[in-house]
Structure 1
Amino acid sequence: MLSTHNTKNIASVLFDLDGTLLDTADDLGAALNHVLSQYGKPQVAAQDYRPIASDGALGLLNLGFGDAIKQYDYEVLRKQFLDYYQENIAVHTCLYSGVAELLQHLETNEIPWGIVTNKPEGLTKLLLPHYPEFSQCAVMVAGDTLTKRKPDPAPILYACKQMSVDHQQCFYVGDALRDIQAGNSAKMTTFVAQWGYILSDENCQSWQADHIIAAPLDLISFIG
């Protein structure tokens, strides 16, 4: 996993959002359990929904309903999920430990940073203002900002263009295989956020990231 990139000559850092900067699992899980309760279905425990949290409404509803989801109108379920989530978007959500300090380090060293997420733009714009630590975010590209989303590299390359930085001198940090695939396709230095929503039996080594880091502040040693 040794990178051929010069990690000290870094122009910018881009992050995934859910499971990388913000722990959004409990608010997403609450939305899932709200929908399940409407249909008399059993609630899903946090330990079960947490690893699926970054898969969004589709992944969570499939988890909760299982094969029975075929008996329902998925679009109705999705609307119920998103309506509840939108109304309760920042009840339990918090920054991961070390994220505030990492962002402050980047800002102090005048390294621009941004967010590239598959979360819908409307929800992302609703969520980010709850956290003043994100006030210096240089760019935000969401799952529906473009016609393509991760694992396609287009959103990451678009973010770099918006920041006027060389994508090959950019880090991309994320907690899902699609993040690493997108970053690698864009020829960026990629980092697995091991603290995020990763299944216990998932082999992150196989994702072919340049680096795997256990905590947000571990990124600082690659910046210098």
Structure 2
Amino acid sequence: MTTFWTPRAVLFDLDGTLVDSAPGLGAAANKMRVDRGMPELPAGLYRPMAGSGARGMLDIAFAVSPDAPGYADLRDEFFSNYEAGMLSNTTVFEGVPHVIEALLARGLRWGVVTNKSSRFTDPLTRSIALFSTASAIVSGDTTPFSKPHPEPLFEAARRTDVDPGDCVYVGDDVRDIVAGRAAGMRTIAATYGYIGVESDVGRWGADGGIESPIELLKLLNLA
């Protein structure tokens, strides 16, 4: 594994990078199917699309796109279902707590930049003790923009009081890498996350990649 310099702050995407929210997202969509007299779909069908949120889940569950009639109502129903079961259906990926402990032990700051709405980000991160040490938690509606725009990453850098050029951003979607590069940060692709079957991670332009959270420490010369 190629290593590169140790940053002053490490920023992370949330879903598919720090936490596994796929079970809760799939369950929310399956409840909609059951409520309509339809059978549940296997969790494995939902998982690759978990990074796309409601859009991805509704596409799998009902083959509908955002421009379909009545989509807004379906989306709102999905959000309500997800919100009701979110806290009991979300877990931290194995190795993440150790990674955060290692960052803090070396005096590095860390934060979260997600496209998830604060409606969901805030209660979720408050419910998991790990996030109490984060210097920044930036949601999709914290700034007027969401990824792949770099502004959420700039906001996180401001909150951590670290220059963007001294930050690394870790995420499991091409939007994360595009946003990080636009913000002048080094970028790392988390290939253990919700990588769609058609995704070609090698074309994302990330500075590095990890197949598990713990590999981040080696990549950043922290192991």
Q: Distance in 2 between matches of 1:119 and 1:101?
A: 24
State the partner residue of 1:174. Answer: 171
Per-residue CA deviation, residues 14-61 of structure 1 (Å, 9 max, x unaligned), is: 000000000000001000111122233442211110010111112211
Match for 2:136 among 139, 146, 150?
139
Per-residue CA deviation, residues 152-187 of structure 1 (Å, 9 max, x unaligned), is: 111001110121101011000000000000001111
State TM-score, norm by structure 1: 0.92
Match for 1:185 among 177, 182, 191?
182
State the partner residue of 1:210. Answer: 207
State the partner residue of 1:121. Answer: 118
Q: Distance in 2 between matches of 1:218 and 1:75?
A: 40
Q: Distance in 2 between matches of 1:68 and 1:166?
A: 39
Structure 1 stretch displaced more, 199-208 or 170-179: 199-208
Offset at 1:193?
0.4
Q: Distance in 2 between matches of 1:64 and 1:47?
A: 12
Q: Distance in 2 between matches of 1:42 and 1:118?
A: 30
- Counterpart secondary structure, 1:173: strand
Change (3 A) 1:68 1:205: closer
- Counterpart secondary structure, 1:97: coil
Match for 2:95 among 89, 92, 98?
98
Structure 1 stretch displaced more, 201-210 or 169-178: 201-210
Segments of structure 1 that go 5 or more residues without pairing to the other structure are none
Per-residue CA deviation, residues 97-149 of structure 1 (Å, 9 max, x unaligned), is: 10000001011111110000000011000111221111101111111111110
- Counterpart secondary structure, 1:49: helix
Q: Distance in 2 between matches of 1:59 and 1:165?
A: 34
* Same amino acid, percent of matched pairs: 37
Poorly superposed stretches of 4+, deviation over 3 Å: 67-72
Q: Distance in 1 between matches of 2:190 and 2:45?
A: 19
